[in-house]
Amino acid sequence: MDYPSISIVTPCYNHAKFVGKTIRSVLSQNYPNLEYVVINDGSTDDSDSVIRQYQHDLYHYETWPGYRSGPAPAINKGFSLSSGDIMGWLNSDDLLIPNSLFVIAEIFTQFPEVDWVTGVATTIDIEDRYIRSRKYNKNLYDYLVGDWAVIQQESTFWRRSLWDVAGGCLDENVQFAFDADLWSRFFLHAQHFHVDCPIGAYRKVPTSTSIRKSQDYSDATDKSIGNLRANIPKSILRKCLHYRIFKWILRTIGSPRLTNILGSIFGDANFAYKSITYMPMHSKWRIYSEW
């Protein structure tokens, strides 16, 4: 296999306790075509000394003085220094699941029509214990009707070509939910695919911004979805009421056994989620639709 180049950026602010684990979770994969950029974004703890232990194994590392209200500038800078065909960022208290970069490489190589994917949302606690893994199916219509939770950022990777056509940067004016803002822009250009295995793990701690400022996060996401609605074709918007009724039918009378039948009767082909699963007997991945 000709491994595609993958660029990962980690912004760090005062995560000396975790950032070493984050970096090891990336480097220990031994992925042969990796650009890993780490930016110490104004930390006042021992983050710098921890990161410097791995400096020679990084594609690029730099330390910024001062304080910024969010990590978007550091992430943008990291991606601007990289050239990988596949992209993603990992916050400095989160982890990549072992072997996940090879999974990402195989999927993007096998399916040229796939532009962005998200794995099964996985959560760990402050002591690295796995709390849960859960698959959240989300498509364009979910976002348009406001059902956005959650496309897990730690488990999401995309092609640089999609990044470029969607603006080529995170919006640095968006302090909260700049990932959801990016997903809203991605939906204007590409279909979202779900991978039936964990890719990354989000560390749930009381100091997490999405927990401390959950209402701000929700408000910022709603604003981004408003921008999505303003730029989406009217023909798609007109289907939103149909989608709401369709999802209500599935919740009310649906069951795993009836879902496909109900989907074929009441649904639109564009409402179906696109998922990717591995077939060990054939040593390859398969795309399938689910309602």
How far apart CA 118 and CA 197 sit, in angstroms, is: 9
**pLDDT tops 90 at residue 11:** yes
Give a yes or no: residue 193 inside a domain.
Answer: yes
Provide the pairing of β-strand 284-290 with 273-279: antiparallel
Give a yes or no: residue 269 inside a domain.
Answer: yes
Q: What is the pLDDT of residue 209?
A: 67
**pLDDT tops 80 at residue 1:** no
Give the rounded percent of residues in the chain with a pLDDT score beyond 70: 98
Q: Per residue in 47-61, pLDDT tens?
A: 999 999 999 999 999
Give a yes or no: residue 52 inside a domain.
Answer: yes
Give a yes or no: residue 161 inside a domain.
Answer: yes
Report, as an integer, the average pLDDT of 144-166.
Answer: 96
Q: What is the pLDDT of residue 275?
A: 98
How far apart CA 279 and CA 37 sit, in angstroms, is: 33
Give a yes or no: residue 1 inside a domain.
Answer: no
Give a yes or no: residue 116 inside a domain.
Answer: yes
Give a yes or no: residue 115 inside a domain.
Answer: yes
- Residues for the chain: how many in total? 291
Give a yes or no: residue 153 inside a domain.
Answer: yes
Q: Residue 83, SS3?
A: coil
**pLDDT tops 70 at residue 98:** yes
> Mean pLDDT over all residues of the chain?
94
- Of the candidates 167, 11, 23, 163, the one whose C-alpha atom is nearest the C-alpha of residue 74 is 11
- Tell me the residue range of the domain where 216 lies: 6-290
Provide the pairing of β-strand 156-159 with 95-96: unpaired
- Of the candidates 194, 199, 200, 198, the one whose C-alpha atom is nearest the C-alpha of residue 276 is 194
Domain count, the chain: 1
Q: Residue 91, SS3?
A: coil
CATH code of the domain covering residue 16: 3.90.550.10
User: What would the DSSP string read from start to end of 272-291?
Assistant: SEEEEEEETTTTEEEEEEE-
Q: Per residue in 156-207, pLDDT tens?
A: 999 999 999 999 999 998 888 899 999 999 999 999 999 999 999 999 987 6
